[in-house]
Amino acid sequence: MAHRPARLILTAGESSGDQLGADLAYHLKRQHPGIELAGIAGPAMQAAGVEAWHNLDVLGVMGLTEVLSHLPRLFRLRRELRERILAWQPDAFVGVDAPDFNLGLARQLRKRGLKTVHYVSPTVWAWRAGRTRSVARSVDLLLALFPFEPELYAPYGLDTRFVGHPVADQMTNRPGREEAREQLGLSTADTVIALLPGSRRSEIERHAELIADTAGWIRARRESVRILVFLADRRQEQLFRELGGSGLERAGVEIVCEQTRTGLIAADAACVASGTATLEAFLLECPLVAYYRLAPASYWLIRSLRLIRSRYIAMPNILYGDEIIPEFVQQQASAEHLGRATLDWLDDPARRQVCQEVARDFRHQLAAGAGDNAARAILELIGRAG
């Protein structure tokens, strides 16, 4: 197919994947001008030149029991997408995170002779370790964000490369604290607490009331603090307000959309739903508390089947190998626990400094040029490296 530009399918499933996919798309186009990119893409990927066959909202489901109700639709989507991909005849398929959807599709496409790549190792070191073998059967190349991951796949002969983490790369051009506060209309004298409910609709549905209650708990003890809730997408605001209820107004919560990173730079402390945002807050040196709630049935099933291997849910703790930040799961994620742990950061400057120094070290380690490295590895796989 050397007579035409290279073609790649990129599919993401949530906001963080959209950012990863956009960074990858930028570097693919930089290294191979004229490359054609299409797939499941959010606004960031579309802005980077990926033609959206579907918006990433079609995959925005998390939790074992929640996914079950969507399985018929997801299977139908995967079947239709597979046929469209094969008809388009790309050089490779690149799944960006969203492993439950992307790896199944990759396995089907690989059986049909298409080269397949997965960007972001599933968290096999944390839970469902049996997926390691399945990943190796599904893809030709795995691009890992963390340096400890390639050795996990070595026994299966899968070409796994640590490329670095785009979030860490992006920190080099971050605004300073004063500039971030100016952008958000905050004074340098303000004490600012950031609350993040997560980027998926299902996370907002589970966390909105908890966030409102946590804000109320904090407000009752610190009248003067500025409490800001950061949402990844402006379209989520109405849902969050409806589910958070009147407690948001009583607590004086300010809602800010599509400026999460700026908010984490500006904040004195943050309370963050576990996910990419916890790593982002950590690498930005914002002292944080991590929390998460799954649907009760999902949590019970995960625990009953002993699917969880890691002691921790938050990536800062997993990287550090110990609890550098507090984390609370399920019923432990209460307004009192979250509120108290968040305020504790404000009252202990020495602990804040230790956390920030550790975060700085990890940021330097992870800032390896992920998008550039990932694009080069993919182009090498398809024989289009410059």
From first to last of the 386 residues of the chain, give the pLDDT tens digit: 446 889 999 999 888 889 899 999 999 999 999 999 999 999 999 999 999 999 887 665 444 444 555 567 778 888 999 999 999 999 999 999 989 889 999 999 999 999 999 999 998 876 666 789 999 999 999 999 999 899 999 999 999 999 999 889 988 888 999 999 999 999 999 999 999 999 888 899 999 999 999 999 999 999 999 999 999 989 999 999 999 999 999 999 999 999 999 999 999 999 999 988 999 999 999 999 999 998 666 555 555 555 566 688 899 999 998 999 999 999 999 999 999 999 999 999 999 999 999 999 999 999 999 999 999 999 999 998 86
Residues 154 and 187 in one domain: no
What is residue 65's predicted lDDT score, i.e. its pLDDT?
Answer: 42
* End-to-end Cα, the chain, rounded Å: 16
Residues 205 and 252 in one domain: yes
Residues 136 and 181 in one domain: no
What is residue 62's predicted lDDT score, i.e. its pLDDT?
Answer: 45
What is residue 178's predicted lDDT score, i.e. its pLDDT?
Answer: 96
Give the E-state strand segments of 108-231 in sequence order: 115-119, 141-144, 159-162, 192-196, 226-231
Residues 177 and 272 in one domain: yes
Q: How far is CA 361 from the centre of its chain?
A: 21
- Amino acid at position 327, single letter: E
Residues 132 and 92 in one domain: yes
Could you tell me which of 247, 314, 324, 234 has the C-alpha nearest to residue 280?
Answer: 314
Residues 262 and 350 in one domain: yes
Task: Name the domain count of the chain.
Answer: 2
Find all residues with CB under 8 Å of 350, minimum gap 6, and list them: none
Instruction: Give the range of the structural domain holding residue 314, as residue numbers without chain letter.
Output: 173-366
On whether residue 386 sits in a domain, the answer given is no
Three-state SS for 177?
A: helix
What is residue 63's predicted lDDT score, i.e. its pLDDT?
Answer: 43
